[in-house]
Amino acid sequence: MIPELDRKCSECGGSGASRDPEWADWSSRYEATRRLWKDRGYTDETAREQALAVAGPTPEGPEEIPCGVCDGRQRVPTEDGDRLLEFFHRHLWEPFVERIEQRLRAIEGTLDRAEDAAIRETTRDRF
Ligand SMILES: [Zn+2]
């Protein structure tokens, strides 16, 4: 029986998105000002106009950004999931990276030898 390896992200409730902090600040200023004017008996339209004047221009960029905890994946690993990820990292990812680095070193060595041969070829007549 495989244990639960991940669970719904509690930070974003599983949506994968969170509100951009600049948008959250802007909305707070807007809503607080709108409510203040509304509570003083002004019309909805006046309250909205005043709120926009106080809150200023809306922030650039989207209102929603990827959740900072699950990075938009909607789920996060459990402790068992983390242990499995460590296992894959150690036995799959690290050997893969080592092999890539070996290949790169071998290619660099080939290039060095080819470069040496080319230099020797062009300078042979001078000595
Ligand atoms: Zn999340």
> What does 85-113 look like in DSSP terms, one character per residue?
HHHHIIIIIHHHHHHHHHHHHHHHHHHHH
**Top-confidence residue, 71 or 108:** 71
Phi, psi of 80 (to 5 degrees): -65, -40
The alpha carbon of 38 and the centre of ligand 1 are apart by a number of angstroms equal to 35
| Rounded Cα gap, residues 105 and 34, in angstroms | 64
Mean pLDDT score of the chain, rounded to an integer? 92
Residue 77 scores a pLDDT above 60: yes
Model confidence, pTM: 0.59
Mean pLDDT (whole number) for 12-22: 95
The alpha carbon of 18 and the centre of ligand 1 are apart by a number of angstroms equal to 7
Quote the tokens at residue 68.
């900072």
The alpha carbon of 70 and the centre of ligand 1 are apart by a number of angstroms equal to 4
Mean pLDDT (whole number) for 115-120: 77
The alpha carbon of 76 and the centre of ligand 1 are apart by a number of angstroms equal to 7
The pLDDT of residue 59: 94
